[in-house]
Amino acid sequence: MTFQEQILEGIPSILPKPKAYEAHINHAPKRKEILSDEEMKLALKNALRYFEAKHHEELIPEFREELQEYGRIYMYRLRPDYEMKARPISEYPGNSEQAKAIMLMIQNNLDYAVAQHPHELITYGGNGAVFSNWAQYRLTMKYLAEMTDEQTLVMYSGHPMGLFPSHKEAPRVVVTNGMMIPNYSKPDDWEKFNALGVTQYGQMTAGSYMYIGPQGIVHGTTITVLNGFRKIKKNPTGGLFVTSGLGGMSGAQPKAGTIAGCITVCAEVNPKITKIRHEQGWIHEIIEDLNVLVTRVKSAIVKKEVVSIAYLGNVVDVWEKFDEENITIDLGSDQTSLHNPWAGGYYPVGISFEESNEMMANNPEKFKEEVQKTLRRHAAAINKHTAKGTYFFDYGNAFLLEASRAGADVMAENTTLGREFKYPSYVQDIMGPMCFDYGFGPFRWVCTSGKPEDLAKTDAIACAVLEEMMKNAPEEIQQQMADNIQWIKGAQENQLVVGSQARILYADAEGRMKIAEAFNQAIASGEIGPIVLGRDHHDVSGTDSPYRETSNIYDGSRFTADMAIHNVIGDSFRGATWVSIHNGGGVGWGEVINGGFGMLLDGSNDADRRLKSMLFWDVNNGIARRSWARNEGAVFSIKRAMQVEPLLKVTLPNFVDENLL
C-alpha cells in the first residue's frame, strides 16, 4: 500500500501482525498500577471499542499484557509501517488543504527526531501525548483525509469523536485535552483516567499539534539567559549557567546557553536522551565523572569559552560538588519535568536510573519518599550558592512548588501574594515584565513545502519586517526588537531545525500580523509554499498558570483561567484553522489551563483577513488582562493598541496610593 492508501485505510479490517518491542527506542517509563480488577476490565472494553467484535478474542490478552507491563494500552501492533515525519503538504491525501496541514503537524510531533517517546505517542515532558493509542492516530488521520472545508473534527483528549457539519469559517479541528471536573484533577486522577483510556495529558504543544522540536524553547531560553545575565549586570562570556534536564523541552537549554555566549552545565540521568542531544549538536561534550567536570569547568571559566557540557548524572551532585570546589555559578535553574514528579519527571540522587525506574513502578511510595528527600537536598545546595551571589530562578517546571511540598527550605521569609518563594519564577523577573506585558511571545511558522529554501526566504522576510518596524518602535520595546533581529539573523547558522522546516521568534501583535501578511503575499506570488502559523501556549494570552505564565499577575487573579478560555473561544471564531484547550502543562496536571491554535496561510484574501482578525485578538486579550492587573508595561501596550485600532476599547485600571491603604 502507498502512504496515501495507508492513511485512508484508518483502522485496518485485517489486523496487522504484532510488532516486536524495540528496546533501542526511548520508551516511556512503566506507569504505576492504579486500576482495580474491575477497572482493568473497563480499560479493556474501552480499548476494544475501536475494533470489530471478530478481533476482540485475539486482542484481549495482548492489550491486557500491555496494561500490566506498561500501565497503559498503547496498541503497539497498530504502529504504521511508514516513516513517521512531516512530509510536504502535497503528499497527503485529502479534500482540504487545511486538513492536510494538520496531518503534517501531527506527524511532525511524532517524528522520531522530535518525539521523546515516539512509540507511546508522547512528544515531550514525559507524558505530553498527541494520542493515547495508535488506533486514535489512525482514525484521526483517516478523518482528516476525508474531511471537507464544511466539516469540523472534534477531538476529545486524543479520541476523534467524529466529523461534524460546520462551515468554511469554522476551525477544521477543535481539540480538548484533560478537561477534568476540578475535583478530579489530582496527579493520581490522571494516572487512573489515562489508564482507563478516557483522558490524556496533552502538555501544551504536544496535544495541539504545534511542537517544532527543541527550537521552540531554545529561543525563549536564549532570551531568558541573556536577560538573566543583564539582570545581574554581567556579560555572559565566561559566565556559568547550571541547570538540569535534556528532554524534549529542557534539551534546548545548552543550545540556548551557547547562543547566549556562556558556559552551560546541564545534568541528565537518562543516557539515551543525553546521547541524542549530543548527536544533534545541542551539547558539545558529555562528562560522567564529577572531578573531570570540575577541572573542565574551571578551565572553561579561565579561558572564557562558550561551551555546553552534559553531566550524565544527578544535578544535586553537581550543585554540592561545585560548592565544595568554590566554583561560582552565575545563573542557576532546573528544567526537569517536576510537573510529573512521581512518574519519571525527576529522579532521586544516589539511586541509578534503572533502579529508579523499577522503584517508580513497583514501589511508588518509596520512590516518592526518595524524590522528596532529593528535593530537600537540591534546595539546600542551591541555597548555599545563592548565599554566595548566584541568581537562581524557577524555570516554570514546578521546582519550587514541589520542593515546598517536600518541606524544602524554599519559602520566602516575608511571604506576599505572588511572592511565596525565596526565588522568583523566570516569568516574574524576566519574561513577564520584559516580554509578555509588552505583547512579545513565541510566534511560530512551518513551511509546509518542506523546503529549506522556503524557510530561508521566510527568515529574510521576517527580518526585513522587524528591521522596518524597529525604525519607529517606542523605546520601551527597542531591546526586544533588537534581540529578535539578532536571533533571526543567526537562525540558519545555529542549525535549529529538527523535524519540520520551522522557525520561532518573539513578536508582538503588530509584528506577528505584519510578518504573516508578508508571508501570505509571498505565497500568493508563488515565491514560497503555504505556511502554518502557530505559537507556543507559553505566551501572552494562551495560558493561565499561577506559578509560570501568569506568575507576575499580582491582583489575585492568577489562579483564574478566564483568559485561556476566552483566548481559545475568540481564536475559533476569528479564523484559526484549529484550536486547542488543555488542563495540565509544564507545571502539572490540575495546575494550569492552556490553549493554542494553528492557522494555514494559503495566499488567499480570506487568509489575509483571518490572520489580522485572529492575531490581533490572540495577543491583546492577554495584554488587556495584564493591564487590568496593574502591570505597567501592559497598560502602556494596551493604550498603544487602542490608538492603532479604534474598535478596541479596554477597561483601564485606576491606581491606588499605597499610603492611603
Binding site, annotated residues: 125-126, 203, 268, 395, 586
The binding site for NAD(+) comprises 125-126, 203, 268, 395, 586
Cα distance between residue 94 and residue 106, in whole Å: 15
* DSSP structural state of residue 29: P
Distance CA 43, CA 65 (A): 12
Cα→Cα distances 568→563, 578, 594, Å:
9, 10, 9
Using CB atoms within 10 Å of the CB of residue 115, give its burial: 0 to 12 exposed, 13 to 18 middle, 19+ buried.
buried
Q: How many helices (H) and strands (E) does the chain have?
A: 22, 19
Which candidate, 417, 392, 404, 356, places its Cα nearest to that of 557? 417
Is 206 in a helix, a strand, or coil?
coil
Q: Grid cell 486482542 — which residue? A: 59
Please list, in sequence order, all residues whose beta carbon lies within 8 angstroms of the beta carbon of residue 295, skipping any fewer than 6 positions away: none
Determine contact, residues 432/552, Cβ cutoff 8 Å: yes
C-beta separation of 630 from 556 below 8 A: no
Which DSSP string corresponds to 379-421?
A: HHHHHHHHTTT-EE-B-SSSHHHHHHHTT-S-EEEEEETTEEE
Beta bridge partners of 240: 263
Number of other residues whose CB lies within 10 A of the CB of residue 646: 7
With H, G, I as helix, E, B as strand and everything else as coil, classify residue 1: coil
Checking phi first, is residue 398 left (phi over 0); if not, alpha (psi -120 to 50) or beta?
left
Are 173 and 73 in contact by the 8 Å Cβ rule? The answer is: no
Query: What is the Cα–Cα distance from 356 to 347, expressed in whole angstroms?
Result: 7
Place of cell 477544521: 172
By three-state DSSP, how is residue 268 classified?
strand
| Residue 533 to residue 618: CA distance in whole angstroms | 12
Is residue 315 within 8 Å of residue 243, measured between CB atoms?
yes
Q: How far is CA 311 from CA 53, 133, 319, 391, in A?
A: 51, 34, 12, 21
Determine the Cα–Cα distance for residues 15 and 256; give it in Å rounded to an integer. Answer: 45
| 64 C-beta neighbours (distance < 10 Å), count | 16
With H, G, I as helix, E, B as strand and everything else as coil, classify residue 61.
helix
* Contact in structure between 107 and 87 (CB atoms under 8 Å): yes
Name the one residue in this structure whose C-alpha cell is 502507498.
Answer: 2
CA angle at residue 356 from 351 to 357, to 5 degrees? Answer: 155
Cell of 617: 485578538
Residue with cell 478560555: 565
Are 283 and 266 in contact by the 8 Å Cβ rule? The answer is yes
* Cα–Cα distance list, 461 to 304, 375, 457, 503 (Å): 35, 46, 6, 12
Q: Which residues contact 318 (CB under 8 A, 6 or more apart)?
A: 242, 244, 265, 267, 290, 293, 311
